[in-house]
Amino acid sequence: MQSYESIIIGGGPCGLSAAIEQKKKGIETLVIEKGNVVDSIYKYPTHQTFFSSSDKLSIGDIPFIVEESKPHRNQALVYYREVVKHHQLNVHAFEEVLTVKKIDNKFTITTTKDVYQCKFLTVATGYYGQHNQLEAEGANLAKVFYYFKEAHPYFDQNVVVIGGKNSAVDAALELEKAGANVTVLYRGDRYSTAIKPWILPNFESLVNHEKIKMEFNATVEKISETTVTYKKDGKLIEIPNDYVFAMIGYHPDYDFLESIGIEINTNEYGTAPVHNKETYETNVENCYIAGVITAGNDNNSIFIENGKYHGGVITQSILTKKQTPLET
């Protein structure tokens, strides 16, 4: 069994930022990541452009400089690799955490490769690894995808994109550019206000020129090998179909959080892990959460640009605990 003072589960930008802050303060820290560093960014569409400018995505006092106003996915991958190298972070990649047990004020973490022990634990597992499930007959067919990577294979194919926010619009634009016959089915009655303002005019223009078919108030009822059936205005409409991209959002791995003992709270604002807003410590003593999972299902409030600051707050809390002698 290997022992560390602190372990961070998740090697995304917010997990890496937390590791940097802890290392700066002399806290021995290990990052365990089931993919490689910034795995969720790696899973983004190949030609993805970020919503934010590069300076807002930078971590660890390392400038992120690009010529364009907004960086691309590949530039971000290069940048975060360089950050890990510069700060000489201890990252165990391609290692998945199976269980976390707290015994005698220490966390025992069992992974696919080893067993570890630590006093302080930070969970920064994001939400991109768990997609929301499409509730429709045929949703588990092999032709249904929840992540979009490349458009080329869908040239001259009938493709349905389900959803109406950025990931759906981005996918539809790429698919249309590659020569796919694209239909977008969205249950909302108008364009979402969450859509990036610089891509909506282009998308609307393609819809107006009938290059992309956009259906509002549409819910998917059934997917077969050759068709998609959706309901609109009380009528069932069947269209020929080869592939479906269900871009309907993502959520934190609540089962994993609950297995650690972290309470999940649901109220009128949504679902989120219970934590102290001042320190990011959960109801489990010495266990913290960082990054987008702090917002739970509300994945439009925490991003890299504000989640990256969680690490500094958590580090300060750990230092305070270390300086305060335990009551005897």
pLDDT tens, N- to C-terminus, the chain (328 residues): 999 999 999 999 999 999 999 999 999 999 999 999 999 999 999 988 888 899 999 999 999 999 998 999 999 999 999 999 999 999 999 999 999 999 989 999 999 999 999 999 999 999 988 899 999 999 999 999 999 999 999 999 999 999 999 999 999 999 999 999 999 999 999 999 888 888 899 999 999 999 999 999 999 999 999 999 999 999 999 999 999 999 999 999 999 999 999 999 987 778 899 999 999 999 999 999 999 999 988 767 788 999 999 999 999 999 999 887 654 3
Query: 33: closest CA among 124, 130, 108, 131?
Result: 124
Q: What is the pLDDT of residue 283?
A: 97
pTM, entire model: 0.90
Q: What is the pLDDT of residue 328?
A: 37
| Tokens encoding 19 | 């590791």
Q: What is the pLDDT of residue 15?
A: 98
Among 3.50.50.60, 2.40.50.70, 3.90.580.10, 2.40.30.110, what is the CATH number of 144-246? 3.50.50.60
Architecture of domain 2-130+250-323: 3-Layer(bba) Sandwich (3.50)
Exposed / middle / buried, residue 187 (Cβ in 10 Å: 0-12, 13-18, 19+): middle
Looking at the chain, the domain(s) classified CATH 3.50.50.60 span 2-130+250-323, 144-246
Query: 7: closest CA among 25, 43, 27, 31?
Result: 31
Tell me how far apart the alpha carbons of residues 29 and 177 are, in angstroms, rounded to a whole number: 45
Max intra-chain CA distance, the chain? 75
Q: What is the pLDDT of residue 325?
A: 61
Tell me how far apart the alpha carbons of residues 320 and 141 are, in angstroms, rounded to a whole number: 52
Contact status, residue 313 vs residue 34, Cβ threshold 8 Å: no
